Amino acid sequence: MKDMISDHLIAEQPWYRPTGNELSLFEAAYAARMPVMLKGPTGCGKTRFVEHMAWKLGRPLVTVACNEDMTASDLVGRFLLDADGTHWQDGPLTLAARHGAICYLDEVVEARQDTTVVIHPLTDNRRVLPLEKKGELLKAHPDFFLVISYNPGYQSLMKDLKQSTKQRFGALDFDWPEEEIETEIIAHESGVDPETAKKLVEIGTRARNLKGHGLDEGISTRMLIHAGKLIAQGVEPVPACTMALVRPITDDPDMRDALDAAVATYF
C-alpha cells in the first residue's frame, strides 16, 4: 500500500446546505488553525459538512473511524515487514500532518484516552507529532488541520474526552435543521418531490418529540433520506416509512404504534 495523499482529494463538490453560520466559522477556524470539534446526533450532517469544507478549502481529507481497540500506532504509523526488510508506514494522522490534509477523527470518544493524547502536541502551538518508534519529530505541514466529531450524550462518564483534549478545540453544535431546510435536504438527497419531503420532515419532527419519552434518539435526517429513497424507488410511502423510520429505531411495541400513527397522519 502506498501513502497516496492525492487519493484523499475530493474532486467533486459534496452538496451541503448550510443551516447557520457554520461555513464562515469553520473557515475562520481553519485560517487560525484552531482545531474544530463537531458535536451532534447521528445522521445530522457532520461528515457531509467536513467533506464539503475539505473540498472548499482544496485540502485532502483523511478520515479515521475511532474505536476502543485503536492504538496510538494505528494513528501514527508503524514499521512493516516485507520482502525487502522493514519499512515505515505513516498512519492516517501522520499522513495528514505531513502532507497538509484535514484529518477527521470520527467518534473520537470511542478511542481510549491514552490513544487520544497523541493529538495533543499537534493541537497546540507546537504543531508537531513525535514519531517515537521512528525517531522523528514531524513538524506539521502549515495546511494541516484537525477536526473531530462526537455525539454528545451517547458516551458514559467513563468515556468522555479529557478536559486537556476538549480545551484544545473550538466546537460547532449540529442539530436537526429547521423544517424548511431539512425539506430541501431530503428532496435533494433522495429525489422525492418537495411535498413528500415536507411530509417526511413533519413525521421526523413528531418522532423527535418522543425523544426521552420512550425513544432514545430522534429520527435522523439520514433516516428520512432513506425513506425518501425508497419512495423514489416506487415503494408506497407507508411501507417505506415503516421500513426506513419505524422498524430500525425501536423494538418497543407501543413506540412502534405511536410512530406508525404519526406516519398514517401524513400518508
Ligand X SMILES: Nc1ncnc2c1ncn2[C@@H]1O[C@H](COP(=O)(O)OP(=O)(O)OP(=O)(O)O)[C@@H](O)[C@H]1O
Residues in the site for ligand X, rule: CB under 6 A?
15-17, 19, 40, 42-48, 151, 177, 185, 189, 221-222, 225
User: In whole angstroms, how close is the CB of 152 to ligand X at the nearest point?
Assistant: 11
Segment 59-118, which members bind Mg ion (CB under 5 A)? Answer: none
> How many residues in the shown chain lie near Mg ion by CB under 5 A?
1
User: In whole angstroms, how close is the CB of 95 to Mg ion at the nearest point?
Assistant: 20
C-alpha 72/C-alpha 196 separation (Å) is 47
Nearer to Mg ion, 108 or 140 (CB): 108
Q: Does an H or E element contain 57, and which? A: helix 46-57
Q: Which residue is it, cell 484535514?
A: 102
| 70: nearest Cα among 126, 118, 136, 8 | 118
User: In whole angstroms, how close is the CB of 20 to ligand X at the nearest point?
Assistant: 10
DSSP state of 43: T
Q: Return the range that interacts with Mg ion (CB under 5 A); candidates 10-18, 41-49, 188-196, 214-222.
A: 41-49
C-alpha 216/C-alpha 218 separation (Å) is 7
Q: Does 47 bind Mg ion (CB under 5 A)?
A: yes
Please choose which of Mg ion, ligand X, none residue 113 contacts, taking the beta carbon within 5 to 8 angstroms, the exact cut-off set by kind: none
User: In whole angstroms, how close is the CB of 174 to Mg ion at the nearest point?
Assistant: 10
| 13: nearest Cα among 72, 57, 63 | 57
Q: Return the range that interacts with Mg ion (CB under 5 A); candidates 13-21, 39-47, 140-148, 150-158.
A: 39-47
Count the neighbouring beta carbons within 10 Å of the beta carbon of residue 59. 24
Nearer to Mg ion, 47 or 73 (CB): 47
User: In whole angstroms, how close is the CB of 42 to ligand X at the nearest point?
Assistant: 3
Residues ≥6 apart with Cβ < 8 Å to 206: 262, 265
Q: Return the range that interacts with Mg ion (CB under 5 A); candidates 46-54, 166-174, 190-198, 218-226.
A: 46-54
Collapsing DSSP states into helix, strand and coil, what is residue 86?
strand
Residue 232, judged by CB atoms within 10 A of its CB (0-12, 13-18, 19+), counts as: middle
Residue 62, judged by CB atoms within 10 A of its CB (0-12, 13-18, 19+), counts as: buried
- Residue 44 CA neighbour count, 13 Å, CB half: 22
Nearer to ligand X, 76 or 223 (CB): 223
User: In whole angstroms, how close is the CB of 212 to ligand X at the nearest point?
Assistant: 19
Nearer to Mg ion, 47 or 71 (CB): 47
C-alpha 231/C-alpha 236 separation (Å) is 6
Nearer to ligand X, 16 or 145 (CB): 16
User: In whole angstroms, how close is the CB of 184 to ligand X at the nearest point?
Assistant: 8
Please choose which of ligand X, Mg ion, none residue 53 contacts, taking the beta carbon within 5 to 8 angstroms, the exact cut-off set by kind: none
**Whole-number Cα distances in Å, 156 to 66, 167, 265:** 16, 19, 37
Q: Which stretches of the chain bind Mg ion, using CB under 5 A? A: 47
